[in-house]
């Protein structure tokens, strides 16, 4: 080794570092920026690798900015849309109240510099494009990735854009009539530019779709502006804004392999961005051109239902004479108390989080855990109508008109949450307006036509975390191999009601096919007619690809070969693309023939299997196509419950039956068989104090063929009381009404069991023996002796200690005072509605007014526990709490969790209000509620 003096060594290091930086910059400019990833991938399609991963949960994946102009003046240039519901499109959309804010100019950010012929233009448009000309200025600074020097991802390859289908093009404005989409001259675009992610691969550029009017179910349109990421070549092919892969092949190319995911994802972004988000580029056309279309003659329609409409029994009790149960002073005062609580929460949301998904009520900050489409506002629309808050409703309606449901800041759309909250809220509010507020139906169609793409899979089972962008949609995804059951079984009410309103069979067909698969799977389940928490709906029997295995030989022998280009690396995401296997040198189609879209090719083929939440490369698998639904995960116990992950699927059996007037008998069998199985396997009598008239819903888990009881009761499972009572009335099964009553009474008991009179999120108890009487509860016996159930759970050995107020408490797991009957608990309360929901149902169905008294006591306790007060003691909001067992007044503020999910105003306060409202208001004989408490009008 040689020695360099310290001073000279520093200068030497500095010079080398500078040289390295200069070399790196030159290398980037000449070899990376214009070639993106260094590979010639023009012959393959994109694979985004984000389906079901929820990767956007990482903060660095969401480029937030408070200086984004979402108030573009595109509405001044878009021609009027001939839409059958409303003549004029709504105002330009914006997200999170960014209207009027401008994107700051940054001289270090490159501008879009390529103008080429878009593949989406009409021929007349292309003649207007000057190949290779430079677009120096498009609006206020072209959109680019926010990373250093990233190229603009803009509609810069097209001076103007036309329609997908040939239409009559105006020579001056390029407006298209008779085509599918509206052409837009990019010279007219003055705003709407957006920065992308720090990697420069999400920039949306001049996105003419920032102002989209309503989307008709028959005539769809989009901006018609193509993407061209940093290319100087005229007419270059579109690039995937997520991976940078050139989408050079036609979308109908069946040679591309499907991609399968586990089906998992993030319904809520735990670190959801609080400010404005960059909206990703909207689809060019909605509904999308499908890769696996259902022929018109094969669509399942309500018009061709297996049975005629039935005259279903009345649901509400005859004891509830109009006005008799709601006009007395006590009931009126209770109703007004609920309304006041709603107004407090609504005003707080309006002041601090207007246009955002949720309010953080303690810190008064906004949050977007879902899609940034004002979830709280849309979810609470029908509550505003029911409570008669006309001014607030009208203001919210104007906000809804500005929401663009065709795009969001997230790369994946959580299908279940979006359907029950957003789509359900829009449809229900339209029903409550008696069809007067047309914008609600228009927006529902706009959203549904976006979501319907999630069903475009080989077996028409939905992708529950839907990659909605055009660059992602070009990949042929299969549904998930480990999909939460509730997320596929709880879509039927919303799409069915929309089909009834619009006459579009595609909506009903999508969910009816799920029901068919559930119905076929039910008797084969490990507990027949009960469903595990996750199911495999991929349509594949997968095994890891091993060259030389039996199936590997089939793909490798002389009659079967893989294309040399079947494995192609992409960008830093680590994902891969695989082509389908070729049999006798011929790439196999996905389907046997066009006459029956569901007759799948049974020959094995390769797929890329992505694991949920993983950044690793997808596994190379061999898919043997199968028919139907299967059990999900094989690496953990199969669990059966009526709590979270399955709950609302059971709930929808009878509700869908009611909505379609009994024309589909499958729902009756699904419900009645489920009740029998639940009685045998899930419902039990708890070994608790004062258990005379209560039942709980537990769970069963199976691992390696052995079934074990889990005596956990959850707040979510409290919905079942109302479900059984409703099913009992619809099918004239009084024993089900009684079953619902006892389960609901069990939830009331759970509320009364804690110090604050509010039920925890979940708790575990011991069950009474199946044979013989249940012993009287004894706390000492609970702690000393073995329990009655097979899992032998012992009570905690924690000592009972003084509570400093003359009493005692049992501080198990650091909770203040666990009820003596519990073995363990999750003590939080996030303002859930399910217990009040079932109390409401039992009141309306039985006419027993004691349910009003029980519900009132529960509601008072909820308000006291969750209230937020200012320095003067005024209540300013309500928040979830960490520990329902802590009634120490000095701990109250610390106990608040600073969350207020949208269901607080959509469900909890709505059910509480209706419990004291005239029974004719949203009568159960006229409406059916979805799982988010959105009432859909029943057709007679």
Binding residues for Ca(2+): 931
Strand arrangement, sheet containing 586-587: 560-561, 582-583, 586-587
50 is written with which tokens?
């984000």
Question: Could you give the CA distance from residue 512 to residue 719 in angstroms, rounded to a whole number?
Answer: 24
**Pairing between β-strand 258-261 and β-strand 605-610 as defined by DSSP bridges:** parallel
Rounded Cα–Cα distance for residues 376 and 906 (Å): 8
β-pairing verdict for 476-477 and 258-261: parallel
Q: What's the token pair of residue 401?
A: 């008109």
Residue 647: active-site member: yes
**Is 23 buried (19+), middle (13-18) or exposed (0-12) by CB count in 10 A?**
exposed
Which DSSP string corresponds to 678-706? HHHHTEE-EE-TT-TT--EE-EEEEETTE
Q: What element of type H or E holds 651? A: helix 647-659
Rg (CA), the chain: 29
Q: Is the distance from CB of 510 to CB of 455 less than 8 angstroms? A: yes
* Options 417, 509, 664, 887, the catalytic residue: 417
User: 394-431 in b/e burial notation, b at 16+ Cβ within 10 A?
Assistant: eebbebbbbbbbbbbbbbbbbbbbbbbbbbbbbbbbbb
Tokens of 439: 């914008």
Q: End-to-end CA distance of the chain, in Å?
A: 93
Contact 592, 517 (CB under 8 A): no
Quick check: is 761 catalytic? Answer: yes
Query: Is 61 exposed, middle or buried, given 0-12, 13-18 or 19+ CB atoms closer than 10 A?
Result: middle
- Catalytic entry in 587, 761, 826, 926: 761
Quote the CA–CA distance of 601 and 584 in Å, as a whole number. 15
The residue from 216, 379, 834, 932 that is catalytic is: 834
Nearest residue to 71 via CA among 221, 194, 228 = 194
Q: Are 606 and 539 in contact (CB under 8 A)?
A: no
DSSP 19-61: HHHHHHHHHIIIIIITTTTSS--TTS------TTT-GGGSGGG
Nearest 5°: phi and psi at 787?
-75, 170
Catalytic residue (one of 647, 656, 837, 883): 647
Name which of 497, 478, 469, 471 is nearest 286 in CA terms.
Answer: 469
What are the structure tokens assigned to 300, written together? 């399942």
DSSP summary character for residue 813: G
CB 62 within 8 A of CB 409: yes
- Is 834 one of the catalytic residues? yes
* Own/partner pairs, 778-781, CB within 8 angstroms, 24+ separation: 779/820
**Binding-site annotation, residues:** 931
- How many whole angstroms separate alpha carbon 931 and alpha carbon 420? 7
Instruction: Find all residues with CB under 8 Å of 240, minimum gap 6, and list them.
Output: 46, 48, 246, 247, 471, 472, 474
Distance CA 29, CA 50 (A): 28
Give SS3 for 105.
coil
- Contacts of 851 by beta carbon, 8 Å cutoff, 6+ apart: 839, 840, 842, 843, 915
Distance CA 882, CA 183 (A): 53
Active site residues: 417, 647, 761, 834
């Amino acid at each position: 080794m040689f020695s360099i003096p310290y001073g000279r060594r520093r200068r030497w290091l500095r010079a080398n570092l500078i040289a390295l930086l200069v070399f790196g910059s030159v290398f980037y400019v000449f070899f990376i920026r214009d070639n993106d990833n260094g590979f010639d991938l023009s012959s393959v399609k994109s694979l985004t690798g984000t389906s079901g991963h929820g990767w956007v949960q990482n903060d660095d994946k969401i480029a937030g900015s408070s200086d984004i102009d979402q108030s573009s003046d595109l509405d001044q240039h878009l021609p009027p849309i001939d839409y059958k519901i409303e003549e004029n499109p709504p105002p330009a959309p914006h997200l999170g109240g960014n209207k009027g804010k401008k994107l700051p100019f940054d001289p270090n950010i490159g501008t879009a510099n390529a103008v080429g012929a878009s593949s989406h233009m009409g021929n007349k448009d292309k003649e207007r494009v000057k190949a290779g000309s430079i677009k120096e200025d498009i609006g206020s600074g072209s959109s680019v990735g926010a990373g250093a020097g990233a190229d603009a991802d803009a509609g810069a390859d097209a001076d103007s854009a036309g329609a997908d289908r040939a239409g009559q093009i105006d020579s001056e404005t390029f407006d298209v009539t008779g085509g599918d989409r509206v052409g837009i001259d990019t010279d007219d675009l003055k705003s709407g530019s957006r920065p992308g992610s720090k990697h420069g691969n999400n920039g949306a550029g001049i996105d003419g779709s920032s102002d989209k009017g309503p989307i008709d179910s028959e005539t769809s349109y989009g901006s018609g502006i193509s993407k061209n990421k940093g290319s100087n070549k005229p007419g270059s092919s579109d690039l995937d804004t997520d991976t940078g892969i050139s989408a050079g092949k036609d979308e109908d190319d069946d040679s591309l392999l499907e991609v399968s995911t586990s089906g998992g994802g993030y319904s809520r972004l735990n670190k959801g961005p609080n400010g404005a988000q960059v909206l990703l580029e909207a689809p060019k056309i909605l509904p999308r051109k499908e890769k696996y279309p259902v022929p018109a003659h094969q669509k399942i329609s309500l018009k061709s239902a297996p049975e005629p409409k039935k005259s279903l029994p009345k649901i509400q009790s005859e004891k509830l004479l109009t006005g008799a149960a709601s006009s007395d002073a006590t009931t009126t005062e209770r109703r007004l108390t609920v309304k006041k609580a709603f107004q407090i929460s609504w005003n707080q949301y309006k002041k601090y989080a207007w246009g955002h998904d949720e309010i953080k009520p303690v810190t008064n900050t906004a949050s977007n855990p879902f899609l940034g489409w004002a979830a709280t506002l849309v979810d609470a629309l029908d509550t505003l109508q029911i409570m008669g808050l006309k001014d607030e409703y009208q203001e919210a309606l104007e906000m809804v008109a500005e929401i663009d449901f065709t795009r969001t800041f997230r790369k994946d759309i959580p299908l279940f949450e979006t359907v029950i909250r957003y789509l359900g809220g829009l449809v229900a509010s339209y029903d409550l307006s008696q069809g007067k507020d047309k914008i609600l139906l228009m927006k529902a169609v706009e959203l549904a036509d976006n979501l319907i793409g999630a069903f475009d899979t080989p077996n028409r089972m939905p992708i529950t975390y839907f990659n909605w962008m055009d660059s992602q949609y070009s990949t042929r995804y299969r549904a998930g191999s480990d999909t939460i059951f509730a997320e596929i079984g709880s879509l039927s009410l919303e799409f069915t009601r929309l089909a009834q309103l619009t006459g579009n069979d595609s909506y009903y067909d999508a969910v009816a096919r799920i029901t068919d698969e559930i119905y076929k799977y039910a008797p084969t389940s490990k507990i027949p007619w009960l469903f595990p928490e996750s199911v495999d709906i991929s349509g594949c029997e997968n095994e890891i690809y091993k060259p030389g295995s039996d199936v590997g030989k089939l793909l490798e022998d002389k009659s079967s070969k893989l294309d040399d280009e079947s494995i192609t690396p992409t960008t830093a995401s680590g994902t891969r693309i695989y082509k389908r296997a070729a049999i006798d040198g011929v790439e196999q189609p996905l389907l046997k023939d066009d006459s029956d879209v569901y007759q799948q090719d049974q020959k094995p083929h390769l797929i890329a299997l992505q694991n949920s939440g993983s950044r690793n490369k997808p596994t190379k698998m061999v898919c043997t196509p199968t028919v139907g639904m299967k059990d999900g995960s094989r690496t953990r116990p199969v669990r059966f419950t009526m709590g979270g992950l399955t709950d609302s699927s059971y709930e929808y059996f009878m509700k869908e039956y009611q909505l379609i007037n009994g024309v589909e008998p499958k729902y009756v069998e699904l419900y009645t068989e489920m009740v029998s199985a639940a009685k045998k396997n899930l419902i039990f009598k708890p070994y608790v104090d004062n258990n005379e008239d209560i039942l709980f819903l537990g769970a069963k888990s199976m691992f390696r063929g052995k079934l074990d009881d889990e005596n956990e009761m959850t707040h979510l499972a409290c919905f079942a009381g109302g479900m059984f009572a409703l099913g009992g009335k619809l099918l004239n099964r009084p024993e089900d009404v009684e079953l619902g009553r006892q389960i609901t009474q069990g939830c009331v008991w759970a509320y009364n069991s804690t110090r604050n009179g509010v039920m925890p999120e979940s708790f575990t108890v011991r069950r009474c023996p199946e044979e013989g009487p249940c012993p009287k509860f004894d706390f000492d016996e609970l702690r000393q002796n073995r329990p009655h159930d097979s899992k032998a759970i012992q009570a905690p050995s924690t000592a009972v200690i003084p509570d400093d107020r003359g009493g005692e408490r049992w501080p198990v797991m650091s909770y203040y005072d666990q009820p003596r009957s519990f073995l363990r608990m999750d003590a939080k309360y996030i303002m859930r509605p399910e217990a009040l929901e079932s109390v409401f149902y039992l009141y309306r169905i039985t006419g027993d007014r004691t349910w009003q008294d029980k519900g009132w006591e529960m509601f008072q306790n909820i308000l006291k526990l969750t209230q937020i007060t200012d320095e003067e003691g005024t209540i300013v909001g309500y928040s979830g709490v960490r520990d329902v067992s802590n009634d120490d007044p000095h701990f109250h503020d610390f106990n608040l969790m600073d969350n207020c999910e949208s269901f607080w105003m959509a469900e909890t306060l709505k059910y509480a209000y209706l419990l004291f409202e005239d029974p004719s208001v949203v009568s159960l004989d006229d409406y059916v509620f979805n799982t988010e408490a959105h009432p859909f009008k029943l057709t007679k």
